[in-house]
Chain A
Amino acid sequence: MLSKPTRSGLGPGPIPACAGIGLRAVHFQDVLATRPMLGWLEVHPENYFGAGGKPLHYLEQIRALYPLSLHGVGLSMGSTDPLNSAHLDKLKELIRRFEPALISEHVSWGSVGGRYHNDLLPLPYTEEALDHMVQRVSQVQDYLGRQILIENVSSYLQYTVSAIPEWEFVAELAKRAGCGLLLDVNNIYVNACNHGFEAEIFLAAVPRDLVQEIHLAGFTVNNLGDGEILIDTHSRPVCTAVWALYRQAVQRFGATPTLIEWDADLPPLETLLDEARRADAILEERHDLVA
């Protein structure tokens, strides 16, 4: 039996099964001044890799009020370069200091030959890449001394060598590496449109017990003349089709901590809170069903 999501909103601790938002620097002061009812907050650890100053100062205050999740974007998990030990050290220090309830990264790579793209690049879905990712996730978990979650990414191409469906690759990776899954429902929708598959197939292929977090975001549509493609820009509200897919995900995976991600063209905090309330309403439908 699932318990009601904690709606008290304030106080550090484990991530409750309700909505949170991705916190960016422009909203630090608003959040601290208004202390909105929010289940939890998530930040990119790389933004706090500096030695001091405002970012760490505000994160300390935020951490005293809300459960926190660290969502990495720069580790280049799937790269065939050696893992960046300086990056891992900084991440480990941040974990020691802020004791986040969840830590996540991506099923992607972002650098090779020491050169970084500052992007989440898709892996080919092959046995070799799967073995490599299993080994890398295990290495990171061993180094950090705890489990991480890994997230499915948006992509705008498929490699000819890919032989495994993305959903099988992701599920198999989690099973073999012993990590959890951060299911990005928007990324599933974007990839379904870009590559032509049924988004429901992805959801159905993911074992129920692996999903510990869900991401929701908005995309933009790029019309390229000879076709259109969805780009995962995190610059828009969650679209109607993604809300519908999210409702299906909640039916399948149960009430799961859900994050509203918005990284570009940031709106006022209130817009993010509205999106979070919408996710909470869907989570509560599920609770009512169970009750």
Chain B
Amino acid sequence: MISLRDLQLGFSQDVFSGGGTGFDARIKANGLSGERRLQIYRNNTFASLTDALQKTYPVIYQLVGDGFFRYAAARYLGQYPSTSGDLHDFGGTFPAFLRTFEPAAELVYLADLADLEYACEQVFYAADHAPLDPLAMSEVPAARYGDLTFTLHPASRLLASAYPILHIWQVNQENYNGDPGVDLREGGVKLLVLRPHLEVEIQPLSAGEFALLHALADSRDFTTACEQALDAQPDFDVAAGFRRHVLQGTLISFAF
């Protein structure tokens, strides 16, 4: 008699390979054939995982359409199976998959847009945190400011793209009523995805702001971060940019 282990391996193999493994011989026909019955489980598995992927990547879905999305999802599942019963762990490799997915090669911005959607998903579920206490900052002697390092909010992500992905994202939102056209020559964007409390915000950043936060996220000290910000954007108002990210909670704590 087949062991429980071998039965599960055989079932799973049949479902993910699309059938033809001979596993249907282990199913009672009883009206419908074993093959027809297994097909129901193939449909359920692919439909539920595709649905999970669609919930994380609604703009990608909107852009490529139902048929193409299902095709891409099926290919994705073959390469990157779900490895957890917690769907928060599923779909993070979809942007990387899209980067090498030949049928989507003409949509050059697609993988970057997927990065943005995944950042929003991660930020939505990330840990809560209170903003930095400005009073605590005021107790630091001015001479030591340069040595400070900062921690970014757990519900924050920085990303940069050579394409206008925020504009593409915006025109594909359900409640968007404006001109749906986007000219790729608008060029790239630098973005901060942040959830200060409950709502996820996507904020375009100047080159200086982005360099400042990026350096701080990399554990550079404040002096180095300011230098990198000014290298990226010579006219950047460091004091104003820094203040904004303390007040809105992008930066949550500091250390010497």
**A interface residues, Cβ below 8 angstroms from B:** 46, 49-55, 57, 73-76, 79-80, 84, 86-87, 90, 109-119, 121, 123-124, 126, 128-129, 132, 156-162, 195-196, 222, 224, 226-227, 229, 231
Chain A residues lying within 8 Å of B108, measured Cβ to Cβ, are: none
Is B128 in contact with A52, judged by CB distance below 8 angstroms?
yes
Q: Tell which of B30-38, B136-144, B206-214 binds the partner.
A: B30-38
Is B30 in contact with A196, judged by CB distance below 8 angstroms?
yes
Is B30 in contact with A195, judged by CB distance below 8 angstroms?
yes
Across the interface, name the chain A residue whose C-beta is closest to B7: A124
Known pairs A50-B124, A156-B37; list 4 more (Cβ under 8 Å): A46-B85, A49-B86, A158-B27, A158-B28
| Smallest beta-carbon distance A101→chain B, Å | 23
Is A80 in contact with B31, judged by CB distance below 8 angstroms?
no
From the candidates B34, B86, B155, name the one contacting A52 in the complex (CB within 8 A): B155
0/1 per residue, B7-34, Cβ < 8 Å to A?
1110110011000000001111011111
What are 5 A-B residue pairs whose CB atoms fall within 8 Å in the complex? A52-B129, A116-B90, A118-B87, A159-B26, A227-B31
| Smallest beta-carbon distance B49→chain A, Å | 5
| Docked pose: A76 CA to B48 CA in angstroms | 16
| Docked pose: A76 CA to B84 CA in angstroms | 10
Is B41 in contact with A158, judged by CB distance below 8 angstroms?
no
| Smallest beta-carbon distance B33→chain A, Å | 8
Is B155 in contact with A118, judged by CB distance below 8 angstroms?
no
Number of A-B contacts (CB under 8 A): 150
Is B124 in contact with A110, judged by CB distance below 8 angstroms?
no
Is B125 in contact with A51, judged by CB distance below 8 angstroms?
yes
Chain A residues lying within 8 Å of B195, measured Cβ to Cβ, are: 53
| Smallest beta-carbon distance A257→chain B, Å | 25
Is B198 in contact with A115, judged by CB distance below 8 angstroms?
no
Interface presence of B240 (CB below 8 A): no
Chain A residues lying within 8 Å of B40, measured Cβ to Cβ, are: 156-157, 222, 229, 231
Counting chain B CB atoms within 10 Å of each CB, the highest count among A46, A52, A132 belongs to A52
Interface presence of B2 (CB below 8 A): yes
Chain A residues lying within 8 Å of B4, measured Cβ to Cβ, are: 80, 123-124, 126, 128-129, 132
Is B30 in contact with A161, judged by CB distance below 8 angstroms?
no
Across the interface, name the chain A residue whose C-beta is closest to B198: A54
Counting chain A CB atoms within 10 Å of each CB, the highest count among B12, B38, B127, B129 belongs to B12
Chain A residues lying within 8 Å of B41, measured Cβ to Cβ, are: 117, 119, 121, 156-157
Is B36 in contact with A224, judged by CB distance below 8 angstroms?
yes
Chain B residues lying within 8 Å of A118, measured Cβ to Cβ, are: 45, 48-49, 52, 82, 85, 87, 90
Is B30 in contact with A55, judged by CB distance below 8 angstroms?
no
A121/B11 contact (C-beta < 8 A), A87-B86, A224-B36 known: yes
Chain A residues lying within 8 Å of B177, measured Cβ to Cβ, are: none
Interface presence of B5 (CB below 8 A): yes
| Smallest beta-carbon distance B220→chain A, Å | 26
Interface presence of B239 (CB below 8 A): no
| Docked pose: A227 CA to B34 CA in angstroms | 13
A116/B88 contact (C-beta < 8 A), A50-B125, A54-B124 known: no
| Smallest beta-carbon distance B144→chain A, Å | 32
Is A119 in contact with B8, judged by CB distance below 8 angstroms?
no
Chain B residues lying within 8 Å of A90, measured Cβ to Cβ, are: 86
Is B85 in contact with A76, judged by CB distance below 8 angstroms?
yes
A109/B126 contact (C-beta < 8 A), A119-B48, A158-B28 known: no
Q: What 8 pairs across the A-B complex have the smallest Cβ distances?
A: A74-B85, A50-B125, A52-B128, A157-B37, A51-B127, A112-B8, A116-B82, A80-B5
Interface presence of B83 (CB below 8 A): yes
Chain B residues lying within 8 Å of A195, measured Cβ to Cβ, are: 30
Is B85 in contact with A111, judged by CB distance below 8 angstroms?
yes
| Docked pose: A119 CA to B48 CA in angstroms | 8
0/1 per residue, B68-108, Cβ < 8 Å to A?
00000000000001111111101000000000000000000
From the candidates A57, A115, A227, name the one contacting B82 in the complex (CB within 8 A): A115
Interface presence of B241 (CB below 8 A): no
Interface presence of B44 (CB below 8 A): yes
Chain B residues lying within 8 Å of A121, measured Cβ to Cβ, are: 11, 41
Interface presence of B175 (CB below 8 A): no
| Smallest beta-carbon distance B51→chain A, Å | 9
| Smallest beta-carbon distance B44→chain A, Å | 5
Is B84 in contact with A84, judged by CB distance below 8 angstroms?
yes
Chain A residues lying within 8 Å of B135, measured Cβ to Cβ, are: none
A51/B34 contact (C-beta < 8 A), A117-B45, A157-B27, A161-B2 known: no
Chain B residues lying within 8 Å of A222, measured Cβ to Cβ, are: 40
